[in-house]
Amino acid sequence: MRKEILILGGGYGGLLSALSARQHLTEDEATITLINRVPSHQIITELHRLAAGNVAEKAVALPLAKLLKGKSVNVVVGEVQTIDVAGKRVSLGDGTSYRYDNLVLALGSETNYFGIPGLQENSLTLKSVADANRVFNHVKDRIKAYAASKNKADATFVIGGGGLTGVELVGELADELPGICRQYGVDFADVSISLVEAMPTILPIFSPELIQRATSSLEARGVEFLTGLAITEVNGNVVTLKDGRTIETNTLVWTGGVQGSSLVGSCGIEVNRGRATVNEYLQSTSHPEVFLAGDCAVVFAPEGRPYPPTAQLAWQMGELAGANIAAQIKNAKMDTFSPVFSGTLASLGRKDGIGAIGGSGIELKGTPASLMKKASNARYLSHINGLFSLAY
Ligand code: NAD
């Protein structure tokens, strides 16, 4: 009997699991339906560029309907409201519901505000194309407002969090703000760009040499680093730091942390700190017909530490989840998950970057890192295109 496969989420994990499942299953064997909040597959690793107006939206928001046209995957645009794992049914905000035999949960992550008073109400985030557009329009509006008002808070930009998201965003802003200022007749010397990081250093995943490189490259372009200083409260446009100092700003972008999707965390499958736990085949440890891909799940490395929630992990999980669902349906042997890490690359604006190539000890800085980051994006796009043409 034909199985119903439901995939929740059209990001890296969801898209790849749909394509991979379809590669292994005919239309007679399974119907595949992918549900996503928005009509596009979003290249979220490039959002920092959209947020600074350095890339066109169409380069980072690829229409799912177009990507999956003729590929025997149904695309539903809608907001998942409830996941009933006991009744094997998913309901959307518009009142429709979908039954499944096999489910992939690939709903990604959410911003973590850590309960900091006033933070959520008074900050922007960078988790989607809509967020990135909001940041760009907001930044332009603040510079325009400053041209008229000379209110210092309009020319003060604060990024909370010095992980990869915060640093990549600040790099782009440092490159693009001088041009935006020129457009509105504002002297860039009036602008202040600060990155606040709670830990003693930004980007602790890199070597001290690369951290130094990132810091000095960004400082040279006007970024001020406030490290070892957590944001403890936000009251309207006043940001308070751990040492009691305050910054008055009309732009706070919060990139200080992520947590698993709350829908997945509360749907009744087994979780660890809000993220679904999986076995070696990427099945839920409590519900074997449910597979997981991406940030909403936690995968532990052999030494017991959780892998960080990255696009490359989501992509690899999606491919295996799709293949293993097919194996489960056909009563064949499933494969175990053994992720390959190609390394970490951080862009520091248009022309600079740093990178550590997976496991090799090779470090990159400047143009090679920047080009490698572009190549890694191109590689992903060509990979999904390859899978599209392979899908029958
Ligand atoms: P993160 O959790 O990696 O970084 C958040 C940073 O905010 C941390 O350094 C933390 O110390 C800091 N912070 C927390 N509370 C704070 C506070 N109150 N005040 C000031 N700073 C505070 O989050 P992220 O950067 O969004 O990254 C999330 C995941 O996505 C990571 O696994 C990352 O590797 C991945 N990612 C990868 C890339 C890339 O490969 N280029 C880009 C973006 C994100």
Does residue 281 contact residue 299 with C-beta atoms inside 8 Å? no
| Burial class, 243, CB count within 10 angstroms (exposed 0-12 / middle 13-18 / buried 19+) | exposed
pLDDT computed for residue 153 by the predictor: 98
DSSP assignment string, 282-303: SBBSS-TTEEE-STTEE-B-TT
355 lines ligand 1 (CB under 6 A): no
Q: How far is the CA of 167 from the centre of ligand 1 (A)?
A: 9
Compute the distance between CA of residue 142 and CA of residue 192 in angstroms, rounded to an integer: 12
Tens of each residue's pLDDT in the chain, 392 residues: 899 999 999 999 999 999 999 999 999 999 999 999 999 999 999 999 999 999 999 999 999 999 998 889 999 999 999 999 999 999 999 999 999 999 999 999 999 999 999 999 999 999 999 999 999 999 999 999 999 999 999 999 999 999 999 999 999 999 999 999 999 999 999 999 999 999 999 999 999 999 999 999 999 999 999 999 999 999 999 999 999 999 999 999 999 999 999 999 999 999 999 999 999 999 999 999 999 999 999 999 988 999 999 999 999 999 999 999 999 999 999 999 999 988 999 999 999 999 998 777 899 999 999 888 888 888 888 887 766 554 43
- Catalytic residue ranges: 168
255 lines ligand 1 (CB under 6 A): yes
308 lines ligand 1 (CB under 6 A): yes
Nearest to 12 by CA among 56, 51, 64, 57: 64
Compute the distance between CA of residue 161 and CA of residue 26 in angstroms, rounded to an integer: 46
pLDDT computed for residue 392 by the predictor: 33
pLDDT computed for residue 380 by the predictor: 86
164 lines ligand 1 (CB under 6 A): yes
Q: How far is the CA of 254 from the centre of ligand 1 (A)?
A: 10
158 lines ligand 1 (CB under 6 A): no
Task: Give, for 172, the enclosing helix (H) or strand (E).
Answer: helix 164-183
Q: Which atom of ligand 1 is nearest to the CA of 204?
A: 9
Compute the distance between CA of residue 363 and CA of residue 345 in angstroms, rounded to an integer: 10
Q: How far is the CA of 255 from the centre of ligand 1 (A)?
A: 6
231 lines ligand 1 (CB under 6 A): yes
For each of the domains in the chain, give its residue range(s) and CATH number, in order of start: 3-37+78-111+259-340 (3.50.50.100), 129-257 (3.50.50.60)
Task: Give, for 35, the enclosing helix (H) or strand (E).
Answer: strand 30-36
Measure Cα distances from 252 to 39, 203, 239 in Å: 28, 19, 8
Half-sphere exposure of 219 (CA within 13 A, CB side): 10
- Supply 266's token pair: 């509360």
Q: How far is the CA of 246 from the centre of ligand 1 (A)?
A: 22
Does residue 176 contact residue 52 with C-beta atoms inside 8 Å? yes
Q: Which atom of ligand 1 is nearest to the CA of 203?
A: 9
Compute the distance between CA of residue 298 and CA of residue 356 in angstroms, rounded to an integer: 23
Compute the distance between CA of residue 179 and CA of residue 184 in angstroms, rounded to an integer: 9
230 lines ligand 1 (CB under 6 A): yes
Pocket test for ligand 1, best of 110, 116, 164, 169 (most atoms within 8 A of CB): 164
pLDDT computed for residue 389 by the predictor: 55
163 lines ligand 1 (CB under 6 A): yes
Compute the distance between CA of residue 48 and CA of residue 255 in angstroms, rounded to an integer: 11
Q: How far is the CA of 4 from the centre of ligand 1 (A)?
A: 37
Q: How far is the CA of 164 from the centre of ligand 1 (A)?
A: 6
